[in-house]
Amino acid sequence: MSEQSETPPRSSEQPLSFLYVNNTDPESGGGGDLRILEEAKKLADRGHRTHMLVSRTDPEYPSQRRVDGVTIQTVKCLPDMMAGFPTVYFYLSRMLFPFISLVPILSLVYRDDFDVLIDNFTPHPSLAAPVARIFSLPAVAVVHEYHDRTALKKYPLFIGVIQLAVQNLLRIGMYDAVVVPRELTKERLRQYGVETPIYVVPNGIDLTPFERIDGVGESTYELVVVSRLERRKGIDLLVEAMSVLAREKPNIRLAIAGTGTERERLERMVEERDLRDQIDFLGFVSERRKVELLNGAEIFVLPSRQEGFGIAVLEAMAANCPVVVNDLPILHELVPEEGGVFADATTSEEFADALSTLLAADPARRRAMGERNQVEANRYSWENVAIEAEREYYKHH
């Protein structure tokens, strides 16, 4: 990804009107949801009109609001009485959105003059593409990862089946173009049989918050992971590795920042393995607290079974932190060899050994790794992402 400065839309092109469709409210979702919001913000800064139709996954959000130039319209998928069960409300709203959003999509496309519809696969698409085809509106799919049969193991069975089923929409030409974050994802979709144009536009981050904070010295935690607590993130694999590492380094401390459906199970694992003194669950943390944790850590750890891009890893890199990650091909595209260690997280002894070796290394080596990571992370600003996305969208309006 080339380094470019923020500029207004090219004088030879007219500003466009974008309709983004997403099954999660981007301010309450994960990295894939955040990506389209940040992209939309920067496109709005560059003079384009951006409208988002999303599921009301947080019942506190209004039916419509403006966020930094982006109009976010939410679709209520469940009655208010379900709000008392936030996890059920969140996931069920996402699942129902493709069906309940059909009428709002029809209404928006019929009465407004959009140039491009962008359908975000997080993890599944909406039914916007068939509507766009009826109205001859170009539709672009933003696909964060390729799924094979291992999706049935990485995700709950029902979700894995949905992932594999909806991926076929890409093969039958339902979309005019596909945007993916990595070359590897593009290659696998080509092998899968996707013939429509595929463009690589990486995810990005806001680099400013990750500048090193003055006054942050040694941390309570040598190891930090920031992640949703879901099975595919592999935090259970990290707990197993910590049980091995703690035998060698009983004073080692790991902070787990994040929330999710796996938290209770993970806490039971920590209790059963007598790791209460080594592992702390911090839950949701503010952006500043996250940066403080990353600044103070010796190593950022991510044992994910699967990643579409690796936003959490990129944030750690931006914070000048060396990383130890699961040996996934997609992460080799992100992390420079001089900035991280790749190890098989499914083998607790190997992953623990990678952590132990780097912890025992010369501190100057870890500092050099962090500095190399920070240089690499600087290429992934949201401004650069928006410029690349804009270039591809202009090809299909």
Q: Which amino acid does the sequence have at 199?
A: Y
Q: How far apart are CA 235 and CA 270, in angstroms?
A: 11
Which comes out higher in pLDDT, residue 174 or 161?
174
Residue 258, phi-psi category: left (phi > 0), alpha (psi -120 to 50), beta (remainder) = left
Over residues 72-96, the mean pLDDT reads: 92
Over residues 110-127, the mean pLDDT reads: 92
Q: How far apart are CA 56 and CA 3, in angstroms?
A: 36
For 183, 286, 292, 303, the CA distances from 289, given in Å and listed in that order, are: 33, 5, 5, 22
In this prediction, what percent of the chain has a pLDDT beyond 90? 72
Domain annotation for the chain: domains and CATH numbers: 17-204+381-394 (3.40.50.2000), 208-377 (3.40.50.2000)
- pLDDT for 173: 87
Encoded tokens for 292:
């403080």
Per residue in 220-268, pLDDT tens? 899 999 999 999 899 999 999 999 999 999 999 999 999 988 999 999 9
Per residue in 29-61, pLDDT tens? 888 898 999 999 999 999 999 999 999 999 999
Per residue in 170-202, pLDDT tens? 888 899 999 999 898 999 999 999 999 999 999
Confidence of residue 207 (pLDDT cuts 50, 70, 90): confident
CB 75 within 8 A of CB 53: yes
Q: How far apart are CA 162 and CA 165, in angstroms?
A: 5
